[in-house]
Chain A
Amino acid sequence: MLRVDHLTKHYGDTVAVDDLSFDVAPGVVTGFLGPNGSGKSTTMRIMLGLDRPTKGQTSIDGHAYRDFPAPLREVGAQLDAKSVHPGRSARNHLRALATSNSIPLSRVDEVLEFAGIASVADKKVGGFSLGMSQRLGIAAAILGDPGVLLFDEPVNGLDPEGIRWIREFFATLAREGRTVFVSSHLMSEMALTADQIIVIGRGHFIAQGSVDDLTRTSAGTVFVASADDARLAQRLRDAGASVAVSERGLDVGKMPSATIGAIALADGIALSELTPQRASLEEVFMELTADSVEYGSAKVTS
Chain B
Amino acid sequence: MRGVTLASVTRSEWIKFRSVRSTLMGVIVTTVLTVGLGALIATAVRANWNQMDPIRKLAFDPVSASLGGTLFAQFAVGVIGTLFITSEYSSGSIRTTFAAVPRRGLVVAGKLLVLVGSLLVVTEVACVATFLLGQSIFSGVVPTASLGNGAVLRSVLLGGVYLTLLAVLGLAFGLILRQSAASISAFTSLLLVIPIILFLLPQSWQNAATKFMPSALGRSMMSTSAPENFFGAWTSTALLVVYVIVAFSVGVALLLRRDA
Contacts and interface: CB of A to CB of B under 8 A. Distances in A.
Interface string A61-74: 00001101111110
A96 B91 CA distance: 16
B213 to A, nearest CB: 34
Contacts of B101: 71, 100-101
Given A100-B12, A102-B3, 6 more contacts: A51-B259, A70-B3, A71-B99, A79-B99, A96-B13, A96-B15
A119 interface: no
B146 interface: no
B100 A85 contact: no
B87 A85 contact: yes
Contact of B15 (A50, A99, A102): A99
Contacts of B95: 45, 48, 50, 79-80, 83
Contact of A83 (B5, B21, B91): B91
B6 to A, nearest CB: 11
Given A68-B3, A70-B3, A85-B88, A45 B259 contact: yes
B103 A87 contact: no
A79 B22 CA distance: 25
Nearest to B102: A66
Nearest to B9: A100
A82 B90 CA distance: 11
Interface string B6-50: 001101110110011110000000000000000000000000000
A77 B102 CA distance: 13
Interface of B: 1-5, 8-9, 11-13, 15-16, 19-22, 87-88, 91-93, 95-103, 257, 259-260
Given A72-B100, A77-B99, A83-B91, A51 B12 contact: no
A229 to B, nearest CB: 60
B19 A97 contact: no
A127 B187 CA distance: 31
B99 A84 contact: no
Nearest to B11: A99
Interface residues of A, number: 36
B100 A80 contact: no
Contacts of B8: 99-102
Given A51-B260, A70-B3, A70-B4, A85 B102 contact: no
A106 B173 CA distance: 37
A93 B19 CA distance: 9
A276 B195 CA distance: 81
A138 to B, nearest CB: 13
A49 interface: yes
Given A73-B3, A82-B92, A96 B16 contact: yes
B4 A101 contact: yes
B92 A97 contact: no
A69 B233 CA distance: 44
A70 B101 CA distance: 8
A84 B19 contact: no
A52 interface: yes
